[in-house]
Structure 1
Amino acid sequence: MDSVDSREEEAPLVAAGEPLINHARDAHILSFAFLFIFSAYGAAQNLESTVNTEQDLGTTSMGILYLSFTLFSLVASPMVRNLGSKNALVLGTTGYLLFIASNLKPSWYTMVPASVYLGFAASLIWVGQGTYLTSAARSHAKDCHLHEGTVIGNFNGEFWGMFASTQVIGNLLTLVLLKNGKEGESISGTTLLFTVFLGSMILGTILMCFLHKRDGNGDLQKQSASFSSSVGSLLMSVISPLCDKKMLLIIPLLAYSGLQQAFVWAEFTKHVITPALGASGVGGAMAVYGAADAICSLVAGRFTSGLSSITLIVSGGAFLQMLVLLWLLLKYSLTSGILGYVYPLLMSVIWGVGDGVFNTQINAILGMLFRRNTEAAFAQLKVWQSATTAVVFFISPLITMHAMLLVMVVGLCISMAGFLILILHVEKAFSSGS
């Protein structure tokens, strides 16, 4: 008995062949995988309206893509739960690969099906990303005895900082590979560019395969049986988040986060950057925007520790974007000289800071407040983001810049009102012990 007891005392706490998972390593891999994939996709998205101009193939494809993204995001939560977040991430990359490949031979027969499928794949990869990163952060905090909110903020700061860098890298690649011809005119340059994009995406997909799985088999099997047993469970996964008061209060902010991104792509570059800097200046302005976004994401993530810090950071980002909106609405006019170049770039920096704030803090607060149904929370994020993005792409040619600015101001005010009420509601619930 003594020998048996001694052997038990000397036995390692972790059995051989069962090493501890390095959660920070998974966060690094996920961030670099998205860097490779979205450096290619982001730059390709910026080029769609200029390289595929025949019958507005590029812009129409983007509208179809985001409409598909919206519809599939409604049912992405049970799909991700059924597949597992790692498998959803890997499967999601296939849509981006197909979309870039279709740009090598652009036509209605290649681009439209690829856009529809990318909408499906994007819903998987983004819900999978939010779920996976939050799970990694929670596990890291638990294993290392750290404050969960701080770790979630740090992981999101790193991820969104890397993601925002894709605007810089992608635009620089475009600038270098298309420098010998105007956009859309250099066929060989465009082919080379999309071939490089395809290679970058393949590297990102390979990196995804090195992620650890984070879904328990028992939970996965139970969810799979529930998902396949009836349509009712699928409908409940779509409707149940909308019965949560916390979700209803944060939905306006989720919608605005998509609206402010689409505003940059569809309106700001067209009505502010191009008149001041010319079409060739769009890439440089977007690179500046991306650099500010990346730096702010890293900084904001480091300062995130809980609801109070999130409230202050989001309020600061909203204030900065409101300044830009009021500037454009009330005082801005095209000027000559050095200020004509400085003002648009300054607005790009300020807007990029706001975008970095919204990306890091929204993902952090969803991870903190919706622990029981993380997939559904991130699915709602993508539903509302993609819906507002699709709306902007479709209505942009139909309304004036002034009208769009008014929509943005009203949207920002409503979203911040809902957000602040949410914070008060959550703090009241915590203080009452419910």
Structure 2
Amino acid sequence: MSPERKRLLNIIVLGFGFMFMFTAFQTCGNIEQTVIKSFNSTEFSGSGYTSMAIIYGVFSASNLIAPSVVAVIGPQLSMFFSGLLYSGYIAMFIYPYTWSFYTASVLVGIAAAVLWTAQGNVLTINSTDGTIGRNSGIFWALLQFSLFFGNLYIYCAWHGHDHITDKDRQTVFISLTVISLVGCFLFFLIRKPDPESAPSDLSEGELIEDSSIATSPHASLCSQALDAFVKACKMLVTKEMLLLSVSIGYTGLELTFFSGVYGTCIGAMTQFGQDAKGLIGLSGIFIGIGEILGGGVFGMLNKYNCFGRNQVVLLGIITHFVAFYLIFLNIASDAPLASEAGTAMQAFISPSVEVALLCSFLLGLGDSCFNTQLLSIIGFMFHDNSAPAFAVFKFIQSIMAAVAFFYSNYLLLHWQLLILVLVGFLGSLTFFVSEWVVQSNRQQSDYDSI
């Protein structure tokens, strides 16, 4: 097998591993607030929004030490052990207790930081400047198939149910736990790329381990961990990362909205009838279709240099603004906070299932626009320090997601949408400036080499 095909196969295996894991976890996140409202046990007093706020809060704090973990045990084992903790969180819903719910939330927050730092590392060392955009698109499209399969199962299982029984819950979460474990073991199929497959300007050590975590064989594990931590802290305050931080932060806010809040809103709309709970799964499917379409198409466009990163991000923010406006008109403002009985408040228009699902698709498409281009630009700008770069990316994204899950417990829908619009607009502007800086530096480098 040629070195290039081996690296592409690694990206595909990475994508399938994440697809299985997040088929389970993203489906869990999409339905957990609705499931919690239906618990028959009076001993459980947890909140899905609070759990997600804990996960992303711990996630953000753990991102600065995640490169140290990846440096010590390697990206493959990092992803495997992190995946086991994800599976434990999902399994907790089979027989839930408040203490185990919040304990598992903390552990998943730590695991998420290690998992995504290792993922960024594997993506980068299996890519060159010419393939990073394509590989980002392939990975993103495979990852987002998780939204399709998991939510299709939820739609079929809960279609026509106006209440989720204990048996319904246990069946779903046993299945999701098994699916998550399959993803964990797929990571063992990833192989180190061959040294000869390295671009000419990379050393063998940089290719095999990535210069962000490669160290002398005589270095102690403590020095490796400390070096990775210092690099992550320094990178956090570089002008390049600070410029990208607003657009990264926006992806954290809208991640919260489409993965936890919007599905809850749809399930609370009594105007949708008995199908409202099943529509949570159908909404997730349409989000997944948008994500898959965006990841696949933008990966191919990047490969053939059809569009630059700015054009894709512009499409993403326009798509999201259209979705936010339609959601504002179609969904009652108190839907995020409604009880299991749902909301009786009227929206600005007669609520439409078709409009709700169109918005789901637009949310997924816009999210893929932002994330594929952020993966691409960060992988390009920080190719030789990918582990700390992706750790900082996830640090910023997750802390904003934690903030959003926290305020989702209190803010009505229209205030949440206003926050998304303002931060999305600013994030798009700062991304445009970042891309302009990258292109200016590239042109200057080409000029100097003549």
Same fold (TM > 0.5): yes
Aligned twin of 1:422: 434
Aligned twin of 2:199: none
Cα displacement (A) at 1:363: 0.8
Aligned twin of 1:322: 321
Matches within 5 A, 1:164-175: 164-175=144-155
RMSD: 2.9
Task: Summarize the Cα distance change of 1:267–1:35 in structure 2 as closer, same or farther, 3 Å threshold.
Answer: closer
8 Å CA contact 2:330, 2:348 repeated in 1: no
Aligned twin of 1:263: 257
Cα displacement (A) at 1:243: 3.1
Cα displacement (A) at 1:404: 1.7
Task: Summarize the Cα distance change of 1:118–1:21 in structure 2 as closer, same or farther, 3 Å threshold.
Answer: same
Deviates more, 1:271-280 or 1:250-259: 271-280
Structure-2 separation of matches of 1:385 and 1:323: 23
Deviates more, 1:109-118 or 1:209-218: 209-218
* 2:384 counterpart SS class: coil
Cα displacement (A) at 1:58: 3.5
Matches within 5 A, 1:188-337: 188-213=167-192, 215-216=208-209, 220-222=214-216, 225=219, 228-229=222-223, 233=227, 236-271=230-265, 274-275=268-269, 277=272, 278-305=276-303, 309-328=308-327, 333-336=347-350
Task: Summarize the Cα distance change of 1:374–1:226 in structure 2 as closer, same or farther, 3 Å threshold.
Answer: farther
Note the alpha carbon deviations across 1:342-399, whole angstroms, 9 max, x for none.
2222222222110111121111111111112111111111112211111111111222
Task: Summarize the Cα distance change of 1:227–1:318 in structure 2 as closer, same or farther, 3 Å threshold.
Answer: farther
8 Å CA contact 1:256, 1:385 repeated in 2: yes
Deviates more, 1:51-60 or 1:108-117: 51-60
Structure-1 separation of matches of 2:60 and 2:307: 31
The answer on 1:37 being equivalent to 2:21 is yes
Note the alpha carbon deviations across 1:260-279, whole angstroms, 9 max, x for none.
11122344334467436333
Deviates more, 1:210-219 or 1:381-390: 210-219
Structure-2 separation of matches of 1:156 and 1:356: 10
Aligned twin of 2:371: 359
Note the alpha carbon deviations across 1:293-352, whole angstroms, 9 max, x for none.
11121111111146961111111111211233345558985434xx82322222222221
Matches within 5 A, 1:106-185: 106-138=96-128, 148-149=129-130, 151-178=131-158, 182-185=162-165
* 2:277 counterpart SS class: coil
Deviates more, 1:306-315 or 1:359-368: 306-315
Matches within 5 A, 1:72-111: 72-111=62-101
Matches within 5 A, 1:58-69: 58-69=48-59
Task: Summarize the Cα distance change of 1:66–1:183 in structure 2 as closer, same or farther, 3 Å threshold.
Answer: farther
Cα displacement (A) at 1:280: 3.1
Cα displacement (A) at 1:240: 0.5
8 Å CA contact 1:258, 1:386 repeated in 2: yes
Task: Summarize the Cα distance change of 1:62–1:243 in structure 2 as closer, same or farther, 3 Å threshold.
Answer: closer
Aligned twin of 2:41: none
Structure-1 separation of matches of 2:47 and 2:417: 27
What letter corresponds to residue 312 of structure 1 in structure 2? Q
8 Å CA contact 1:51, 1:183 repeated in 2: no
8 Å CA contact 1:52, 1:184 repeated in 2: no
8 Å CA contact 2:141, 2:292 repeated in 1: yes
The answer on 1:396 being equivalent to 2:429 is no
* 1:373 counterpart SS class: helix
Task: Summarize the Cα distance change of 1:287–1:183 in structure 2 as closer, same or farther, 3 Å threshold.
Answer: farther
Structure-2 separation of matches of 1:85 and 1:378: 13
TM-score by length of 2: 0.82
Structure-2 separation of matches of 1:46 and 1:217: 35
Structure-1 separation of matches of 2:156 and 2:307: 44
What letter corresponds to residue 160 of structure 1 in structure 2? W
The total of aligned residue pairs comes to 405
Structure-2 separation of matches of 1:319 and 1:39: 28
Structure-1 separation of matches of 2:210 and 2:294: 38
Aligned twin of 2:339: none
Task: Summarize the Cα distance change of 1:25–1:248 in structure 2 as closer, same or farther, 3 Å threshold.
Answer: same
Deviates more, 1:295-304 or 1:397-406: 397-406
What letter corresponds to residue 166 of structure 1 in structure 2? S
State the structure with more CA Rg: 1
8 Å CA contact 1:227, 1:233 repeated in 2: no
8 Å CA contact 2:210, 2:384 repeated in 1: no
Task: Summarize the Cα distance change of 1:410–1:58 in structure 2 as closer, same or farther, 3 Å threshold.
Answer: closer
Identity %: 25
Cα displacement (A) at 1:282: 2.0
Cα displacement (A) at 1:190: 1.9
What letter corresponds to residue 100 of structure 1 in structure 2? I
8 Å CA contact 2:159, 2:278 repeated in 1: no
Note the alpha carbon deviations across 1:134-159, whole angstroms, 9 max, x for none.
21122xxxxxxxxx33x222222221
Structure with greater proportional helix content: 1
